[in-house]
Amino acid sequence: MSEDRRAVIVAFDGSDQARAAVTAAAGLFPTHKLVVVSVWEPGLAVAMAPLRDSTGNGYVSPSPEEMAAVDRAQRDHAVDAAAEGVRIAEELGATAQPLALGDEADVADTLVAAAERCHADAVVVGSRGVGGVKARLFGSTSRGVLERSKRPVVVVRAPK
């Protein structure tokens, strides 16, 4: 298998929708290298910290050790998820490589930036099919990629 294959970014978080995205990418882009991207969020420990401690006092900042432990766990989970996506792609006969990335702004921006860096021919994302109010409240990675990417985007729905 040639290392100079053109790339396609495939977002992967382990969900059924992400599995459907890998499956679709393997079928739609058989001559491309699939770059299976899993995004983790550095600094999550700070975002998860309580606003008050057990005595009712103000914000309690996590210790540097706690922040590092949460970051390591998030990164390790992303590495494992990307490897799982590669395994699925390779079982389908595709050439694939894992890529775990720390969130640059949000997941959609991180995926778009990865596509730009590797000059991807396309970005493939799964969709949970959340619409309306839920999509506005919680955001939509697939919609964010569609709005921001200069590259073709394939949005895949998981079979029910």
CB 106 within 8 A of CB 73: no
**pLDDT over 50 at 103, yes or no:** yes
Beta-sheet strand order (sheet of 122-127): 95-102, 33-40, 7-11, 122-127, 153-157
Q: Can you give the pTM of this predicted structure? A: 0.82
Q: Total structural domains in the chain?
A: 1
**pLDDT of 85 higher than 60:** yes
What band does 114 get if pLDDT is binned at 50, 70 and 90?
very high
Segment holding 157, helix H or strand E:
strand 153-157
2 in any annotated domain: no
Strand, helix or coil for residue 144: helix
Residue 111 within any structural domain of the chain: yes
What is d(CA 88, CA 27) in angstroms, rounded to the nearest whole number?
Answer: 12
Residue 83 lies in a domain: yes
Q: Is residue 139 part of a domain?
A: yes
CA distance 137 to 122: 27
Q: What is the CATH number of the domain that holds 37?
A: 3.40.50.620
- Residue 137 in any domain: the answer is yes
Look at residue 144 and tell me if it is in a domain: yes
Average pLDDT, the chain: 85
Per residue in 17-61, pLDDT (tens digit) is 999 999 999 999 999 999 999 998 886 545 555 555 556 665 667
Q: Look at residue 134 in the predicted model and tell me its pLDDT.
A: 47
- The closest alpha carbon to 22, from 88, 83, 81, belongs to 88
Q: Specify if 11 maps to a domain.
A: yes
Q: Report residue 61: phi and psi, to 5°.
A: -80, 135
Residue 85 structural domain: 7-157
User: Is the model's pLDDT at 135 over the cut of 50?
Assistant: no
Token readout for 38 is 């899993």
pLDDT-wise least confident of 4-13, 40-49, 56-65, 111-120? 40-49
Of the candidates 155, 157, 93, 87, the one whose C-alpha atom is nearest the C-alpha of residue 123 is 155
Residue 1 lies in a domain: no
| Alpha carbon distance, N-terminus to C-terminus of the chain | 34
Q: How confident is the model at residue 137 (pLDDT cuts 50, 70, 90)?
A: very low
